Structure 1
């Protein structure tokens, strides 16, 4: 989900410039659950993302995957809650249940419940929005203050994204991998869009791969395409407890057409492209302890081994190109061989959108925790529909492309694991 991809898609995407400044502080864990005592407030309006839900394409995706029952079931559970505690338990159960259901469907467990291919990540995305919309507008008799509703929404988001259920096993003789993906994005350009990084996360979560050095376990999570969530510390909160237990991590997103890139450098800059809420941010990436914030971070993935290996049908490149303002300069310039000393970041190898930012945040967290593990960003090819398909939500070439991307990312993780032993 690079800015490079976003620039290709800029026609038809609505951008809304805001003057709000994102908080530079990483978020702490949500406050402990407690019965709210503040005065209840009116339900807020639906979000930009949630408003897209009633269009024909999302409804078809939900219907053809069997996920159209998710939001109604959640609504009934909320209706049965007589206290904040009961509501929280319903949110946790249904949020994690949605993630588990999506993972099971992607990995071939249980009925497909529809004719949409199992590898599709879109049912999870649209079903989650159905749930958040119901929760956002819910008006229980016991009252729900803004802060309490926000806590419930946070629990729902984290649970339905696999962010709070990563389970890296203990013990010797095994490797532990962390991989992250993203929601679909640029939906105002084409609401049918799928994100192969999210599909890969569903396909690989909790799976084992065989390597020359023994078995390796992969745990995954999916992140929103929203600037505000990143400024609030969702990446750090999810990964802070996992990276110290991991032997390797890779953030994954959708990038360029027809190729895979191992992004060598990540920059501390937000370029302003609109997110899934049509919000724009042009600023330094906001992180905790900004006084020690570097302009650049780098991959520690074994990029030479990955690019040399035969991992699938898409060519894999070691991408070292960045955009910087040289030390003492004022004008951005493109550097094909990486940043120069003292320069100011304007785009990492993965651009200046949220794919670059998740790579920057994850590798900065690695460095601040003092971890000596391989980690970095992989950009998948753009997931394309078959030639001539401008209206249907799926087609055989679309499915084949997604399956091939999933398989190749899995192979890249295996190569990285063996090469880092």
Structure 2
């Protein structure tokens, strides 16, 4: 259970999502009604947890109210983890339950008069806790700490029932423990929103800074849904260029002829045009895999277009259009994770895994993807 002081810290220290939660009445919240009609059982699976927020009316002060919000968000995350790990291969209920919980919170009141900023704090507490941010706990005997992120479902206007196998990977591997070369390893995970604004406000940096401060962090994987096979994205680029919207239907204004740097706390993100991952590639390219596992070097620059550099030095004077991971948030989370690792001088091996693409929701296929990533993670740990 979260202590009151910890709940308040969680809400305030990750305030980036408080802005993004101008949410409800917004695009993400507005999809709830359609989702209830189309995939009702998925949307209402965790309805009892949502209803737990009715207790807010009895709270007399901000600390108690924030404690309740954080606790309900954490319960939602933990229930989704239990579900997936017990064989219910579906990440979508977590996403829709979070939106339902935020909707209820947005219309709830407590016994004290809440200012707008206090309401934002409560919503931030739900957001962060339901994404696993307050549930990152390694056992004391762990010698190899591994951190992994997945993403929410996205492109929901194309298919309201879309799943995201990277989110399932995060739920399936949260807390996963194993032994390798006589050492105890543990994976902890978190779920990332598909919203440009959260990235611009430093969500990734806030999440990963304490991870990199821990010298026992040995591996950091960012995971997203990608192409036909698995891709390990060698050269992430700094700039955005995708014309695709995020889950708020926000566009960046960037394009392949006009790439734009993302922001960090109000200013353009500073860093080289390209960085290189440090993943143990050969260990992660599983033999006999159903899918190919590519060491993807492909990038696009303004001057040269699309090509495959062999070394980072070939990109030194180029302007990034697309990194190996593309020009969207999949590429960007990898770039930010690697850049931050370098700033902390962390010895962790860091990089991005693109999983095969899934149409809608396919439990059997996504279970196979989960097990592939699990094996890749274990093989990476064995190579350290």
User: For the superposition of Structure 1 and Structure 2, which TM-score range results when normalised by the shorter chain?
Assistant: 0.7 to 0.9
Paired residues of 2:59 and 2:111 also in contact (CA < 8 A): no
Distance 1:310 1:135, change over 3 A: same
What corresponds to 1:318 in structure 2?
A: 295
Shift of 1:67: 1.5
Paired residues of 1:324 and 1:345 also in contact (CA < 8 A): yes
What corresponds to 2:198 in structure 1?
A: 229
Task: Considering fraction of residues, name the structure with more helix.
Answer: 2
CA offset digits 1:331-357 (Å, max 9, x no partner): x61122265221111111111111111
| Cα distance in structure 2, aligned partners of 1:93 and 1:30 | 11
| Cα distance in structure 2, aligned partners of 1:165 and 1:311 | 35
CA offset digits 1:227-252 (Å, max 9, x no partner): 00111111111111012321111000
What corresponds to 1:7 in structure 2?
A: none
Paired residues of 1:311 and 1:408 also in contact (CA < 8 A): no
What corresponds to 2:107 in structure 1?
A: 137
Q: 1:335 aligns with which of 278, 295, 307?
A: 307
Q: 1:304 aligns with which of 256, 277, 282?
A: 282
TM-score normalised per structure 1: 0.79
Distance 1:142 1:58, change over 3 A: farther
Paired residues of 1:267 and 1:297 also in contact (CA < 8 A): yes
Task: Give the root-mean-square deviation of aligned CA atoms.
Answer: 2.3
What corresponds to 1:373 in structure 2?
A: 348
Paired residues of 2:91 and 2:171 also in contact (CA < 8 A): yes
Matched pairs, number: 354
What corresponds to 2:26 in structure 1?
A: 47
| Cα distance in structure 2, aligned partners of 1:126 and 1:62 | 5
User: What stretches of structure 1 of length at least 5 have no aligned partner?
Assistant: 1-27, 34-42, 109-116, 327-331, 386-393
What corresponds to 1:61 in structure 2?
A: 42
What corresponds to 1:417 in structure 2?
A: 381
Paired residues of 2:57 and 2:111 also in contact (CA < 8 A): no
| Cα distance in structure 2, aligned partners of 1:287 and 1:294 | 15
Distance 1:254 1:217, change over 3 A: same
| Cα distance in structure 1, aligned partners of 2:38 and 2:60 | 35
Distance 1:243 1:58, change over 3 A: farther
Shift of 1:292: 4.8
What corresponds to 2:211 in structure 1?
A: 242
Does 2:83 align with 1:90? no
Distance 1:141 1:168, change over 3 A: closer
Shift of 1:402: 0.5
| Cα distance in structure 2, aligned partners of 1:198 and 1:213 | 30
Paired residues of 1:182 and 1:223 also in contact (CA < 8 A): yes
CA offset digits 1:149-203 (Å, max 9, x no partner): 111111111100001221133447x311101000000000001100001111111
CA offset digits 1:235-287 (Å, max 9, x no partner): 11111101232111100000002x00000011111224200000011320223
Identify the structure with bigger relative contact order (alpha carbons < 8 Å, sequence gap 6+). Answer: 1
Shift of 1:374: 0.9
Does 2:222 align with 1:251? yes
Distance 1:79 1:203, change over 3 A: same
Shift of 1:32: 7.8
| Cα distance in structure 2, aligned partners of 1:32 and 1:301 | 30
Distance 1:44 1:142, change over 3 A: farther
What corresponds to 1:205 in structure 2?
A: 174
Equivalent residue runs for 1:26-45 within 5 Å: 31=12
Give the 3-state SS of the residue equivalent to 1:296 in structure 2. coil
Distance 1:211 1:313, change over 3 A: farther
